[in-house]
Each structure stands twice: as C-alpha cells, then as structure tokens.
Chains A and B, each alone.
Chain A
Amino acid sequence: MINFKKAAAIGLLSMATFMSLNSIKPVSAETEVEGINDPTIAPYFESMKGKKIGYVPFSMSYDLSKGWLAGMQIQAKELGYEIIVRDPNWNTDVGVQAMDQLINAKPDIIVLQNPDLQSYAKLLKRGTEAGIKFISVNIKSAYPSYYIGEEWQLNGMAEAQYIVDKCGKDSGRSGKVAIVQGILTSAASAYQIRGVTEVFSKHPEIQVVSNQSANWDAGKAQEITRTVLQQHPDLCGVIGFWDGMDIGAGSAVKEANMQDKVFVVSSGGGYKEAACDRLEDGTYSAYFSYDVRGQAQDINTVIRILLQTNPAPDAFKFTLPTRGVMLTKDNIKPGSCWTMDDFK
C-alpha cells in the first residue's frame, strides 16, 4: 500500500517538474506545431529599421575607408538602415562642412574619422547635444566619443620593439635606425613617434641616424631613405608610419639590393596589395596590421548596441582598441590580408 502511495507521489512530482520545465502552463497543441515566438527578435529588428547612419572618413579613396564602408554596408542591408556617405577628400575644411550638414540632417549615428584631435571637436559637442551618437574610427577626438581603432602609440612601440629585436643588443648589427614620419602635426604620426622613442630610450644601443617627415609621400620617403642608406651603408632598420608612404622607403632599400640587411617595418590596415604582397616581394620585412575586417566588425557591433540601447550622451564612453598583428613573410597565411572581395 505504502509502496503504491510512494510511487504515485513520485509520479506526480515528476509530472509537475516536467510541466514547470515546459514554462509552467501545459503545452498546447498549437505550440507543439509552430514553436515559440522569441519576444526579443522583433524589437531588435525594429530598433534598426529605417535608422540613418552618417559616414565621414578622411577620404573615400583609400583602402581603410573603403573596407570599413563595405563592411558597414553588409550589415545595413541586412538590418534595413541607411548609410549616408560624405567624402571630404582629405580636406579638413570640406570635412567640417560635411559634418555640419550631416548634423543638421540629424542621423542617429555618425561614424567618422577625425582629421586630428581638434578640428571636429566643437561639431561633436553640438551633435551630441542634439542626440547624435558619434563613433570615431582610428583617430580620437578631444571631445569624447565612442572610439574604435588603432592605438597609435602602441603601434609605434610594436614597430620599435621589432627593430630592437633585429638590431639591438646581441644582434651583431649596427643598431642604426632611420625613422620616416608622416605629417608632423597629425595625431597618428605624433603618437607613433612617442611610442617609438619610449622603446628606444630603454635601448641605448639603438642609434637613430635619421628622423625625418616624408609627409605621407612615398617619393619623399624614397629620397630620404636613399640618402640615409648612402650615408650609413651599415643601416639596420627603417621604421615607417604608414604603408602608403613606406613603400617608397622599402623600394629604396630594395633598389640598393639591401633587403636582406636592412629591416623595413611598416604598418597599415592589412590590405593585400599594400601589405602581404609587399612582404612577399621583400619591400617590407615586417608589417604591423590593424586589420580593417576586424575594425569593420567592431563598428557594426557598436552600431547595433547604440541603436538598441540609445544611451544618454553622458551615460558612458568607451574605446575599443584594434588588436594589431605583426606580419612577416614567414607568418602570413592566405587570410592574413584582405581584399575588397572579402566584403562581398
């Protein structure tokens, strides 16, 4: 008798547990056929649909800005929001005008590349007060915004460390290094040189024999590097601050047939023709890549977060530094660099 009662109790209990596992109410015949509607999906899509995202890079004519946009457009198409592109074509004044007009049009978010720390700061303040969210890519602003991109100082440190490893103590080399900077007033160049000097200050065996600006110009970089090579045939390393310019420095070394003795390190967004192809043909011995694919992914993620949460302007700010990778001829794989096809 007791045994029967016990069995009945256990049976009831397990039934209750089963029912509670199935969201308490008994499973209706309808749900069994059609499944359950996830209540979070519709609001997610709802929060994206018909929104407007502005995009103001330095210029639409170079690998980084094209890659970012291509990545952003994939998600925009998927989620049904619009991207408005303004192309300042390297001109800060045009950029200020474009930003000004965009802010008046009141998009939900503006993804931008600051020309420097200051130029857009006032505009960012005005836009933020009007409720627009700003995502800065690769160059920060004096006025806080959400930041995604390269940490230039760390980039400089990584390049300098590479050169120290190759040319420093116990390397049996001269330790002579040339630095080819970009435009001296640009934040990217200024932060990078800081990173470089920080590392070199701990390595007195490294001797900087030339520290010049080539103005982001490949021809100028080539001229400087040629002259430095001529003056210091035992040069061990060249540090460059951007692939578009450093190709001149690398060409000068290659032309002198010294690519086995002089280590040229460059950095950039990892576009195949600018990076992997140049590592393979010996223009660079190393390339610090802040992969544009990853940055585009980060931009997309932040867009989704901001559109869903719509935070108050002063709620929080954050930076998402890009994880850089030092590429060399020996560690590149087919997927190490990107082409526009990656975004199709």
Chain B
Amino acid sequence: MSASYLMKRVGYGLLLMLGVVILNFLLIRLAPGDPAVVIAGEMGGATEEMLESIREEYGLNKPLLTQLWIYVSGVVRFDLGQSFFFNQPVTTLIAQRILPTILLVITAQILSILLGVFLGVIASRKPGGVVSAFVSVFATIGYAVPVFWTGIMLIILFASILPIFPVEGMLSVKLRDANIFVQALDVLHHLVLPAFTLAIIYLAQYARLGRASMLEVLGSDYIRTARAKGASERSVLFKHALRNAALPILTVAGLQFGNLISGALLVETVFNWPGMGRLAFDSILRRDYPTIMGVLFFASFMVVVANILTDMSYRWADPRLRGKS
C-alpha cells in the first residue's frame, strides 16, 4: 500500500465530505417549516419580537449563502454549531451518541459478514442440498423483510413470550453505579437484539453472495488442483476458496456501510438505542438544522473511512492489486 495512494483516497474523501456538507445544507433548507417557529412552539409560544430575536440569535435572518459560508467555515474548524433545539454544541450531542452507534454498526457488520459468509460457504458445498435451499430461502426473506418489522417482531417475542433479552435502551438504569465490567456485560446483553435486527438483512445478502462467489471459485482449476494434491475439504474451502471468494464480499461490505448506518437509524428508534440515528430522526422532525447536518457529516465521515478501509483490505486480500494505485 503506497502512502501516495492512501493520501489520494483521503483527499477524495475530504472533497466528498465537503460536497455532502454543502448539499445537505441546501437540501435541508428546502423542507417546509421555520425553525424559529418550532423553537417558539417548543418554548410554549412566543411574541413576534421573540421570534425575531430567535432568528437573530441563530443567524436565521441572514442570507442563505452567508449562512452556508458561516457553517462551512465552522466545520473546517470542527465547530458544527449549536443545536437549535437543545442549545448545546452539536459536537457535544454527537459525542454523547457516537459510541453507541459505532458499537451497534460494527457489531452488526461483523455479525452479518461472519455468519453470512459461513452460511454461504456451507451452502456452496452442496448447491442442491437442504442447507443450500435453506440459505437461499432465509436470504430472500431476510432481504425482503423491512428492518423495523424484524425489530418489532423481536420485541414482541422477547418482551412477552421469551423475556431473556432486554428490548430497549443500552444499559439498565439499576446498573448505573455498577462497576465497568458489569456494565459492559449489560451493554452486550442489550446489544443482542438491535445488532441481530440490523445484521439480518445484510447477513442474508452476504450468505447469497458468499454462496454464489464460492460456487464460482470452487469450479476453478486451482481448487481441482488442491483437491488432487490431497488437501482436506476444510483446507480447500476456507484456505484456498474463501480467500478468493472474499473479494466481492469485501467490496459489498464497504459499499453497504452507508446503508448499515441508515439502517441503524431505524433500529435505534425501534430499540430506544441512544445513538446518532435517533438524534438524526428527532432532529429532522424538529428542523434542528445544525444537528441534522452534524449527524450527516459524521455519517459521511464514517462511510468515507469505511470505504478507505475496504480498499485497504481489498489489497490485503488480493496481492495482485498491491502494486497498483
């Protein structure tokens, strides 16, 4: 991996984020509803003078391009502005929520890749077998079912029928003062349902992709050679075939990261998970422009980082790409 290649990717990423910031700024302002009226409404009403003072306070009475310039120059200095609703720095609000979101998204990503690939590999061993059929059906259902529906079904199942997993929040209130180890266990306990809900749709995709990719690779000459040389089936599948079959999976995993974050928005809302997704959802309803843009900025940042990491892992998996920029 050459440093210049990495720098180039980072440069593209920064340009992309700048585009995201500008586009979001302009798009969000097309939504109907005056934030000053919302703030006044949330306060319990206001006079016209108070409305004007709110607009003045938050710079809403300035021309749109001036507002854009102020915002972009703030972002460059890592100042994402003040939330209209909470009147706190957006960076504070995001800092309070970014870790839960990262935890949820990364767990779901790992879960979906590992389980999905495993199922795909198993299914590829006997393409016409029962396991293969099961994976295909499961993948179709998993892909077709909306993520919020899965979440609600799991809540119903685990709230009343089989109450073994908590169905909302991230940490039990009663464990607020407990030691960090107990809290970590409790967080993992709370993480099971949201992570599985978020993972299931992508798990299904990876299983199908893994199966198709493995079937293609398993028909290759070098696999036949490996088998002829007496390599064990496990070695053929996981050592020789999987590494080659992993390339399309890695590509899709990188591309799916953005979708995973948008899926987290729904999952966080369903499971009351205290992450950025819920903050984004609530902020849109409140026309809290700085907070929405801050969340989108961080989301785009995560996607850019994920794509760079994907590129790097792609090169790790395929030595032929290492010399190319």
Do the two chains bind? Answer: no
